[in-house]
Amino acid sequence: MALLEKIKAPEELKKIPVEELPRLAEEIRKKIIEVVYKNGGHLGSNLGVIELTIALHYVFNFPSDRITWDVSHQCYTHKILGGRLDKFDTLRLGGGLSGFTAPEESPYDSFKVGHAGTSVSTALGIACANQLLKNNHKAIAVLGDGALTAGMTFEALNHAGTVKPDLIVILNDNKMSISRTIGSMANYLNKLRTTHLYQDIKNELYRIAESLPKVGHTVEKTLGHLRASAMSFLGGFIFEELGFSYYGPVDGHNIPKMIQLFRETQKLKQPILIHVVTEKGKGSELALKDPSNLHGMNPVKYSDDGKISLRKGAETYTDVFARSATELARENSRIVAITAAMPEGTGLIEFEKIHPNRYFDVGICEQHALGLAAGFAKQGLKPIAAIYSTFLQRAFDQLFQEVALQKSNIVFTMDRAGLVGSDGATHHGVFDIAYLRMFPEFVLMSPKDGSELTQMLGFALTLNQPVFIRYPRTETPKPLFAESAPFALGKAEILKSSSSKSGVILAYGSMVYPAYTAAEELSKEGIELTVVNARFAKPLDEELIKKLSEEQPFVITVEEHAASGGFGSAVLECLNRLGMDTGKTRCLGIPDKFIEHGNRAKLLASLGLDAEGIIKIVKSLVNK
């Protein structure tokens, strides 16, 4: 009988002899590969932490002990061992298990999270609470080396060294975040990784110190200096100086060794950092060959001869942006590009190949990315900052201080705007219009298709103010229009005009094609609508909005964004300011709730944000 089938909870895991755990790891590895190849998901990161997760569950007592996973995309083994094996085939499918930790699924999950750099802070909060509540439970944070580029991580490490909690931080070092980890900290970890004698020498110094008679402050001080000098030479000094006892590096695939180390450190009541070295993608030829692109993957396809290949669909908005930015930079040597650890996801990996000296990956540091971009703009360069919609909100204060107040001439391209599908609530980019349009002089745009994205990017670079372009994580629609109208700031584009004055749809970005398709279908039933590609959420085409509101019996706004504070809200505010009747305006968008994971098209349809949903709303208004 397979070992995995015996485990319905971690208590059953603890009954398995240690020498059999490597076999369990291989069974879990096989299961994860099978499900991720079928459903898509985060492959490489999960294959690298199987043995680590087994050792953690074998030693600690979850959920009384609390574990926080940074980003939490590497939690698949944790889900399997935490009683969700029977549901694991539903991973990332609509109505199935989330690809991230989700407390509503299980008490073994502490937080619903999908952003990097948060785990040490939340684990520290748990540890401090444990002290106040006078319980002996452990607080454990597991983070990758990529999270050490995030400022929030260091803020938490710094604080932890001051309050001295019962906290264990496990640094899962695989030399990667999504792409290869960059920066001075990556070089520092490489130094630690290659210093095999570090822990042996540190332990020997402790042994010497403990064996000597306590003959006074001078000897203790000398030993302290000796230990500090050795650690400085070997490379472990930073974590020790932050107040953590450093252990490692340890082989993250050696289960018995990790179990032994965890049991030893479990007895200690102080901040501990355990440096675990793992191999991202271990056990999958695909993931080992291409760890960046196989960090998160779509389902694979199989050829007739049984060979596996990755599915490659039609051109995406990301592809269009990558090509357009690279070409524009050929023509303009003042263009620079910035990413926050997402070179592949944003498409800027192509820019780096052609313009390596004008490409800047700052790590998981959105706040720093905006400050850097502001500095470039101050010196007369043209920065393009490519940051996912859901990640840009991490730098809200910099949007205010470094961008808005300075009127910094930066072009922000926000991939993953709208619903992202299987990544779910933590990654849906559905709040950017609301948190951006409040700032004076910001320009907010969104293209209807790939061709318009190219035009929009070129136009944005001619403006002398902050510009934000949002587009979804999907393939670009098949073009319905031979050409687009020329761009002018704050001017919309009428795609379909009706003299019958049956109503108007103001559509923004990804919702333009569904709105146009709906209007074409309705025209077959004698309902002739005017369809407008808004192009801008700020500034709005107020003249056109006023005219259409006066002429038409109803106005429908459609957007792939939260209805609260979004494009529709902006239109209502405009009409109110102009003294127009807002009662005949209907705003379609994402309702006031978090949308869970699932197929993007199905999610949009369930919210009425597709052609069929728009048709239904129009008919309800026509038949009033």
Which residues fall within 8 angstroms of residue 580, CB to CB, at 6 or more apart? 546, 549, 550
Do residue 455 and residue 376 come from a single domain?
yes
Q: What is the pLDDT of residues 466-514, one digit of tens each?
A: 999 999 999 999 999 888 889 999 999 999 998 788 899 999 999 999 9
Taken in order 262, 267, 271, 272, the sign of the CA dihedral is negative
CATH of the domain at 465: 3.40.50.970
Q: Which of 29, 175, 227, 394 is catalytic?
A: 394
User: What integer is the mean pLDDT of 300-327?
Assistant: 80
Report CA 135 to chain centroid distance, whole Å.
34
pLDDT at site 211: 61
Q: What is the pLDDT of residues 346-385, one digit of tens each?
A: 999 999 999 999 999 999 999 999 999 999 999 999 999 9
Domain membership flag for residue 426? no
Closest CA to 45 of 97, 114, 102: 114
pLDDT at site 202: 53
Domain membership flag for residue 104? yes
**Pair 364, 147: CB distance under 8 Å:** yes
Closest CA to 33 of 43, 19, 24: 43
Closest CA to 545 of 599, 510, 581: 581
pLDDT at site 593: 96
Is there a catalytic annotation at residue 535? Answer: no
Q: Band the pLDDT of 233: cuts 50, 70, 90.
A: very low
pLDDT at site 498: 85
- Please report where in the chains the tokens 């609301």 appear, as a residue: 434
Its pTM stands at 0.88
**Total structural domains within the chain:** 3
Give the dihedral of Cα atoms 255, 261, 264, 269; nearest 10 deg.
-120
Q: Band the pLDDT of 230: cuts 50, 70, 90.
A: very low
Is there a catalytic annotation at residue 330? Answer: no
Indicate whether 180 pLDDT > 70. no
286-295's contacts with Cβ under 8 Å and 24+ in sequence apart are 286/43, 286/310, 287/43, 287/44, 287/47, 291/44, 291/176, 292/176, 292/178, 292/179, 292/180, 292/344, 293/344, 294/43, 294/44, 295/42, 295/43, 295/44, 295/45, 295/176, 295/178
Closest CA to 410 of 372, 373, 457: 373
pLDDT at site 176: 55
Do residue 462 and residue 517 come from a single domain?
no
**Token duo for residue 568:** 């529709």
CATH of the domain at 499: 3.40.50.920
Domain membership flag for residue 476? no
Domain membership flag for residue 454? yes
Domain membership flag for residue 618? yes
User: What integer is the mean pLDDT of 4-17?
Assistant: 90
Domain membership flag for residue 423? no
Indicate whether 1 pLDDT > 90. no
Is there a catalytic annotation at residue 138? Answer: no
Do residue 239 and residue 159 come from a single domain?
yes
Q: Which of 138, 202, 227, 280 is catalytic?
A: 280
Which residue range is the domain that position 597 belongs to?
Answer: 493-622
Separation of alpha carbons 33 and 42, rounded Å: 10
Q: Which of 366, 402, 452, 493 is catalytic?
A: 366
Indicate whether 171 pLDDT > 80. yes
**Pair 336, 360: CB distance under 8 Å:** yes
Indicate whether 147 pLDDT > 50. yes
**Token duo for residue 233:** 């030479």
Domain membership flag for residue 399? yes
- Please report where in the chains the tokens 């038949």 appear, as a residue: 623
Do residue 409 and residue 501 come from a single domain?
no
Provide the 10 A C-beta neighbour count for residue 17: 6
Do residue 159 and residue 45 come from a single domain?
yes
Separation of alpha carbons 245 and 198, rounded Å: 13
Mean pLDDT, the chain, whole residue set: 89
122 — phi, psi (to 5°)?
-70, -40
Provide the 10 A C-beta neighbour count for residue 544: 18
User: What integer is the mean pLDDT of 528-540?
Assistant: 97
Do residue 182 and residue 281 come from a single domain?
yes
Indicate whether 5 pLDDT > 90. no
Do residue 69 and residue 20 come from a single domain?
yes
